[in-house]
Amino acid sequence: MKNEPQSTTDRIISRKEFAELTCLSRTSIWRLINSGDAPEVVIINGRILGFRESAYIAWLDRNTNT
């Protein structure tokens, strides 16, 4: 079996995709960001908001009861 190198790039999840994944409204996401309870925010081109996939997964792990 051939060893493939693992990708070290972290995909950016758009605000829209984050809303779809979490079923949260734009206002609820804004509130999470302002309170510091959202995953780390990434600003692209000075105005587009996104989240690193790894930060989203870590946030999800912290905020789900399993």
Domain annotation covers residue 5: no
Give the domain extent around 18. 12-62
Domain count, the chain: 1
Residue pointed to by tokens 């009861």:
65
pLDDT in tens, 12-52: 999 999 999 999 999 999 999 999 999 999 998 888 899 99
Domain annotation covers residue 7: no
User: Above 60 in pLDDT, residue 1?
Assistant: no
Domain annotation covers residue 1: no
Domain annotation covers residue 31: yes
Total-model pTM: 0.77
Instruction: Say if strands 41-44 and 12-14 run parallel, antiparallel, or are unpaired.
Output: unpaired
pLDDT at 65: 73
Q: Is 39:19 a contact under the CB 8 Å cutoff?
A: no
pLDDT at 33: 95
CA-to-CA distance for 57 and 54, rounded, in angstroms? 5
CA-to-CA distance for 26 and 11, rounded, in angstroms? 21
